[in-house]
Amino acid sequence: MAEFSFELNEDQKAVREWIHGFAADVMRPAAAEWDEREETPWPIIQEAAKIGLYSLDFYAQQYFDPTGLGIPMAMEELFWGDAGIALSIVGTGLAAVGVLANGTEEQIGTWIPQMYGDANDVKVAAFCSSEPDAGSDVSAMRTRAVYDEAKDEWVINGTKTWATNGGIAGVHVVVAAVDPELGSKGHASFIIPPGTPGLSQGQKFKKHGIRASHTAEVVLDGVRVPGSCLLGGKEKLDERLARARERATAGGERLKNAAMATFEASRPAVGAMAVGTARAAYEVALDYARTRQQFGRPVIDNQGVAFQLADMRTRIDASRLLVWRASWMAVNGKPFDSAEGSMSKLFASETAKKVTAQAVQILGGNGFTREYPVERMHRDAAIYTIFEGTSEIQRLVIARTLSGVPIR
């Protein structure tokens, strides 16, 4: 088990500087253009692929970093560059992690390479879980997968929403209910191969922020996939469902809490994204306050502005520490006894919204225009308190964990 440390090792520092260079030299100069276009920045993804940044190997190296700091470090630097472009680059990772976590070795080897493609022909993948009536309440999922034993095929029907890369992806990973009576324990994940009949893109959302990232509905109408596309295989699924039915008889609430705990481990990465956006806005505001003259002196000489900057930096550093702690705990098998994963995501996401708003305020009228990036950063920051569990859900998870009672 790696000791928890606030100091990055030399390899981590080198990787951080490499990512930072890409974010500064490639992502930032293109950020405003792709935000206005509201399109997937394929040329930027291809540039990331050429240097190995957009690849399974890179993310696997960071994911298996024994200190736990590889992923949050990478997320912070990428989202410091630009949140929309960064989400286009890392969005495929959501689907890849879904396969890594649940798939067989054969499924991992078959499908994950197809998710990324190569530098000459980049691909993206989509993870499809949320639905119009099932966001925070995953037990309300209506997408159904029914097994056709005669053909060894699964038939999937339903509509997914808020899917990053939904519809434009080659490979889609879809979560569906196979036993609705078991709630979230009756769910399974399926690979939908490229070109599968019945899968189509529904509405593409025109968003307030992260506009360079493609977000859309995915419609599944009689989609048929081979039995081999069930992640983990049917034997494993049947065993899991049997155990879930036995436990449901003993106490359904315990099952629900266990399902919520599953999401805890992924939340620090979102917190790191928020830290990157907050840090970017703070740096712009600090530089502006140092150089902007009002009443014959720099704006930062105004105590009201200086105190805001002090609070901004304090919250950013505190957010990073919470994210790092949770990330280290997750990779070293430490249980989140106090919902540390949700704590990190909650505090960092709220910090991103607050800090970017303060940055706009410090820049005054300039901050309200698209001539300065803080306006875009402020719009981007709004997503962090919504996706991967809203702030209200994070508080609910923390409260339930601390109290031990099913607070509603």
Q: Residues near 148 by Cβ (< 8 Å), separated by ≥ 6?
A: 154, 155, 224
Tokens matching residue 207: 């968003």
Catalytic residue, candidates 77, 131, 350, 388: 388
Write phi, then psi, for 370 (nearest 5 degrees).
-85, 5
The DSSP bridge pattern shows strands 171-177 and 199-204 to be: unpaired
CA–CA distance, 400 with 405 (Å, rounded to integer): 6
Check residue 104 and report its DSSP letter: -
388 catalytic, yes or no? Answer: yes
- DSSP conformational letter for 338: T
Closest CA to 86 of 95, 73, 76: 76
> What whole-number distance in Å separates Cα of residue 276 and Cα of residue 259?
29
The residue behind tokens 């249980």 is 335
Please state whether beta strands 297-298 and 293-294 pair in parallel, antiparallel, or not at all (unpaired): antiparallel
Concatenate the DSSP letters of all residues of 3-56 into one string.
PP-SS--HHHHHHHHHHHHHIIIIIHHHHHHHHHHTS--HHHHHHHHHTTSSSH
Other C-beta atoms lying within 10 Å of the C-beta of residue 266: 17
Where do runs of H (alpha helix) occur along 124-266? Answer: 234-250, 252-264
Of 224, 267, 263, residue with least CA distance to 139: 263
Closest CA to 221 of 205, 202, 193: 202
- The answer to whether 112 and 95 have CB atoms below 8 angstroms apart is no
Task: Name the residue with tokens 């859309």.
Answer: 216
Q: Give 207-244 as a DSSP string.
A: -SS-TTS-EEEEEEEEEEEEGGGBTT-HHHHHHHHHHH
CA 280 to mean position of chain CA atoms: 18
CA distance 366 to 145: 52
Amino acid at 391: S
The residues assigned a catalytic role are 388
